Structure 1
């Protein structure tokens, strides 16, 4: 008969049992999906048309009781539920003297795989330089002081894709270490150091993933706790330390079932997810829209002429109506630099969406530029613009003409029913980041 044995272990004290029951229920509620929306997404996603965004969003699930990002209030609610559940468990378990070593083992298994899943989800995004993409042309033409701390951090990571790749590789290796019992504590210990830095950077740069990163740290602490005392005795106190004697033994069908489940996990979340993320890095960089913009229009344009209701406005550092410059992105986004105050999209969460309208990374955490998505009507030579801010209803249409390859003329009714006529002239601007990357720039060595 197939069974799983865990060996003889001493009975736990009463206070240890109560503490464990609270911990067990709490982390079980944190690790397992409770939200019906998770299962709706799971069962409505086609396995034959999976995108890496689908896998990431399922892997990135966290328990929350209100709309918006997870908060520490969610943790408090789960802790209260865990205390109530532990009280009921204590009442039902009254008089029993057995230990909970086997239960603790299964809790670590759940948290190991849950943590590995989360780390893999982010690891492949970093490995293919998707999480922090290279700055858009609009960002390259926005002053440093017009970004929030979080956006500066993301842009700084995006300009060094090789370093981002390295961070992703570290996360992938740590996830694989967590999947095997013999290396799980090593992986959890290194992850505590690695993710501790991520948590602190979220605090320092006002990032939106501080709650999630601390949650993953708590998972790693539980996984590492099994060997923590031995590590402290051996490495810090330098005292003789006995190896762990607890060892699960799987026999029969359960042995092959365990191997099958682990193989499927590796196949789906390492091989398939890795391949789909790699393909997405070439075809679908989720931070930016994928709809092509006006053909051969990408670039920075100086506003040579700006006429409003028949009056020509000269350049002015204080005029809030006149445009200063315009950027046409490779995709269907136009950003306009002007002295008119630009509302800030303060979202600092890391979101992954397959919907172009929800890909707002280019406008998040930045000020000084007004962003518009547009559709092109080539028959009427018309650009239909829509303000990219989610709460904005601003939209207008402009006719366009292209007298030559370096000029674009826009005209139509915009803003408060004003008639505008704008002549844009392309600026042949070189960017030091690209010049150096292509070997055309020169960097002097800094001597200390």
Structure 2
């Protein structure tokens, strides 16, 4: 016995039709954002002129800005208005299964594409990188919840790649109608975990991760009766009849081949771009010549030697040269942003000079001559801003820290929890 497909002309009840109208309108304003954004901006300007307040978009890397919440509320209200008007105007339609079929097709590719993008960014580890050198020195209590989550995810290749492969699997399964429900179940499980991480660690992608979770649930809802029969009621379930997009078999076969080629090409492009980004900005990025953590054992400023006292707000404790020519100076009080200096570094290996460059205006704020006294000790002499500084330092790197050198052990006679 075959199950009726989404195009079977079975009448819907009034609530189902209203729910579909609302969901269709909301999706149109959300995943076809050009329409919703234009209407929102117009409405926002009108409200701003009347109430004297306006919420504007600003690029920040956050998906949970006040602008985003206003936009979500606007889309919900507008979708409700559209659904009410649609209900009043269209009283003759008994069902909207053809529109639902087209909407479901679009959402499948929309959701699947984002699952592939996020999945490959974890498989190739461009989203989460290994803990940076400054992160290894920052006190745990000074980390933000998001920073802690990023360190947790970036530390483990195994977990990052596994979570990415789950997202990729869900995305690929969604690309074909026969595996749609399985893909939706995989995506729902994966996105539920992502959403809970975002909620638990205050990661500002809460709205978008919930959107992907909600869309995954939408596909599960389309087959909820069959799933309940299989997993709960233990009843037989027939095959799902799917309507091919074209009547000629050759046209459908051509479509499937073209889609397969497009998926392989898109996945290949994502992998290529991911590997390229990883080599430039990720874990595989080249390390600068003076890469490392330099613990300041002796600090002389303007011919005055400062002892290593934790209450000192002037003396430097660590100088860090990290990847991407970024640098940090930790003062004796390592906690707090005031006790940390950020800069970009530029190293002249021929003349043994290293420059500290301001992030704000790209001016040189310090320049030091460096030389090795033995295999692990370096001396820096130069000027930082208006002060003459000399430092004798001990060089270390990430391999000297337990988090990075502990590794994996099949056999543990005792838990190694530090």
**Could you say which TM-score interval applies, normalised by the shorter chain?**
0.7 to 0.9
- How far does the alpha carbon of each residue in 1:58-103 deviate from its partner, in whole angstroms, 9 at most, with x for none? xxxxxx97224333332211122223333444455x3433421111
**1:347 corresponds to:** none
From 382, 385, 391, give the equivalent of 1:422. Answer: 391
Could you tell me how far apart the structure 1 residues matched to 2:286 and 2:236 are?
64
Could you tell me how far apart the structure 2 residues matched to 1:207 and 1:426 are?
34
* Contact 1:6–1:248 (CA under 8 A) maintained in structure 2: no
Distance change (3 Å), C-alpha of 1:374 and 1:303? same
Q: Does 1:327 align with 2:320?
A: yes
Q: Does 1:270 align with 2:267?
A: yes
Aligned-partner SS, 1:423:
strand
Normalized per residue, which structure has more helix? 2
Could you tell me how far apart the structure 2 residues matched to 1:331 and 1:126 are?
20
**2:281 corresponds to:** 285
Could you tell me how far apart the structure 1 residues matched to 2:120 and 2:92 are?
46
TM-score with structure 2 length normalisation? 0.79
Could you tell me how far apart the structure 1 residues matched to 2:401 and 2:333 are?
26
Q: Does 1:146 align with 2:135?
A: no
**2:48 corresponds to:** none
Q: Does 1:186 align with 2:156?
A: no
From 79, 82, 87, give the equivalent of 2:79. Answer: 82
* Contact 2:354–2:370 (CA under 8 A) maintained in structure 1: no
* Contact 1:6–1:249 (CA under 8 A) maintained in structure 2: no
Could you tell me how far apart the structure 1 residues matched to 2:36 and 2:351 are?
47
Could you tell me how far apart the structure 2 residues matched to 1:422 and 1:318 are?
19
Q: Does 1:72 align with 2:65?
A: no
**1:19 corresponds to:** 19
Could you tell me how far apart the structure 2 residues matched to 1:233 and 1:392 are?
65
Aligned-partner SS, 1:156:
helix
Aligned-partner SS, 2:202:
coil
How big is the shift at 1:331?
3.8
**1:401 corresponds to:** 370
How big is the shift at 1:166?
1.3
Aligned length: 385
Gaps of 5+ in 2: 38-54
Could you tell me how far apart the structure 2 residues matched to 1:381 and 1:22 are?
67
Could you tell me how far apart the structure 1 residues matched to 2:212 and 2:36 are?
22
Could you say which structure has the greater relative contact order, defined with CA pairs below 8 angstroms and 6 or more residues apart?
1
From 383, 392, 404, give the equivalent of 1:412. Answer: 383
Distance change (3 Å), C-alpha of 1:65 and 1:256? farther
From 117, 120, 124, give the equivalent of 1:124. Answer: 120
**1:385 corresponds to:** 356
- 160-169 vs 430-439, which deviates more? 430-439
Could you tell me how far apart the structure 2 residues matched to 1:442 and 1:184 are?
41
Aligned-partner SS, 1:425:
strand
- How far does the alpha carbon of each residue in 1:175-214 deviate from its partner, in whole angstroms, 9 at most, with x for none? 1111111111111122212211221121112222222211
* Contact 1:401–1:410 (CA under 8 A) maintained in structure 2: yes
* Contact 2:113–2:171 (CA under 8 A) maintained in structure 1: yes
**2:129 corresponds to:** 133
* Contact 2:173–2:182 (CA under 8 A) maintained in structure 1: yes
Gaps of 5+ in 1: 38-63, 345-366
**C-alpha RMSD of the superposition:** 3.5
Could you tell me how far apart the structure 2 residues matched to 1:261 and 1:197 are?
33
- 1:287-302 residue pairs with structure 2 within 5 A? 293=288, 295=289, 297-302=290-295
**1:40 corresponds to:** none
- How far does the alpha carbon of each residue in 1:89-141 deviate from its partner, in whole angstroms, 9 at most, with x for none? 4455x343342111111111111111111111111111122222111222223
* Contact 2:6–2:100 (CA under 8 A) maintained in structure 1: no
- 1:79-118 residue pairs with structure 2 within 5 A? 79-92=76-89, 94-118=90-114
Distance change (3 Å), C-alpha of 1:65 and 1:10? farther
Distance change (3 Å), C-alpha of 1:65 and 1:212? farther
How big is the shift at 1:237?
3.5
Could you tell me how far apart the structure 2 residues matched to 1:342 and 1:410 are?
26
Distance change (3 Å), C-alpha of 1:176 and 1:190? same
Could you tell me how far apart the structure 2 residues matched to 1:221 and 1:278 are?
32
How big is the shift at 1:437?
3.7
Aligned-partner SS, 1:34:
helix
* Contact 1:175–1:187 (CA under 8 A) maintained in structure 2: yes
* Contact 2:311–2:332 (CA under 8 A) maintained in structure 1: yes
